[in-house]
Structure 1
Amino acid sequence: MPANGESPTAVCAPGTAAGQSPAGLQQVTLCVTSATKTHSFTVEAARTSAEQARGLMFRTELADNAGMIFPFPDLRIASFWMKNTVIPLDIIFVRADGTIESIADNTVPYSMTPVVSGEPVAAVLELRGGLAAELGIVSGDKVQWTTK
């Protein structure tokens, strides 16, 4: 079974260190749990303001088991745009309790239109555009990760 389509009983160890990405960012295991499945991803952690400003800009592909997490030091209304982002992304807004507040699916590459959370959030997760719908990931699902 693919790593991003594991059964609910599958072990997903959020926060497991997965080395550094080619971009030099720390990679960690992140888990998204819904009512029926747990999905495991290896994500890059964009922690600094410079890392967050660059995000996934200029990338030409993103694997189905990969993504980027943007953890914030304080809750905030998150606003993202797609300037210099070549591929469509699903932008997933995550509350402090780890539940998904909302998902902006298949965001438009190069768009300067802000994509904004509906309430203050603790993090944003970016996945390949359309992947959340394909996997059945919806608002209310639980996201778990640890960055150190």
Structure 2
Amino acid sequence: MERRALAAVLAVVAVLVLAVVVLQSGLWVSVLGVGQYEEGTVTVREGTATETASTTQTATATPDADATTVSVQDDATTGEVLGSVEVRIADTFQQRYVGLSETASMGPDEGMLFVHDDEERHAYVMRNMSFELDIIFIAANGTITTIHHASLPPEGTSNEELERYEGRGLYVLEVNRGWANRTGVTVGDRVELPDAAT
């Protein structure tokens, strides 16, 4: 009887460990896909973001935000570039507050880089958003500290009820949900920040 109980406990632990490995490695994306965000591709290369964005997906981010390119490098010694994103910089309170909430959609290699005054704990919400996001918190030295895969809130959710996506950093990168998994970007990887953001 004790052997059966021990075997059952070990089986449950093995299943949980396997589930954690599958979730952390992003293997679930290749099996399940990422839904509507599977359209288009993210170019994984050095240099600038891809120059061919879909004409049906247009970003309407804050008009006075500057556009530039952000690259993410593997944390390994190779320094391989995992992905590049053309971003608009949000570095004023108003730009950070509005963020992408007035944006209908983005191309697969577009996003927004939020620049805060201090490196500390920040919280982001999906207020008035039209699409889901990966919310990536970045330390002052460019190291990714936290990645959230944020869903749209249920219809009728009040501002007070919105889920808070928290992390520590000086910068926050928002891209289409699924981008981090498709490119293999994980916590500990390094973001090559543009001069305009530093």
Tell me the TM-score range normalised by the shorter chain. Answer: 0.7 to 0.9
**Is 1:134 matched up with 2:174?**
no
Q: Is the 8 A contact 1:4 1:64 kept in 2?
A: no
Q: Is the 8 A contact 1:41 1:66 kept in 2?
A: yes
Residues paired across the two proteins, number: 134
Q: TM-score, normalised by structure 2?
A: 0.62
SS in 1 for 2:43: helix
SS in 2 for 1:78: strand
- In the other structure, the counterpart of 2:163 is 113
- Higher strand content, 1 or 2: 1
- d(CA) in 1 for partners of 2:42 and 2:165? 29
- d(CA) in 1 for partners of 2:42 and 2:145? 24
**Is 1:29 matched up with 2:79?**
no
**Identity %, equivalent residues:** 26
- d(CA) in 2 for partners of 1:58 and 1:41? 19
Q: TM-score, normalised by structure 1?
A: 0.81
- Higher helix content, 1 or 2: 2
CA RMSD of aligned residues (A): 2.0
Q: Is the 8 A contact 1:32 1:142 kept in 2?
A: yes
- In the other structure, the counterpart of 1:17 is none
Task: Return the index of the structure with the highest Cα Rg.
Answer: 2
**Is 1:125 matched up with 2:173?**
yes
- d(CA) in 2 for partners of 1:4 and 1:78? 29
- d(CA) in 2 for partners of 1:56 and 1:145? 20
1:100-130 deviations in Å (ceiling 9; x for gaps) = 001001x12136111111xx31110000011
Q: Is the 8 A contact 2:132 2:151 kept in 1?
A: yes
Q: Which runs of 5+ in 1 are unaligned?
A: 14-20
Higher mean Cα deviation, 36-45 or 67-76? 36-45
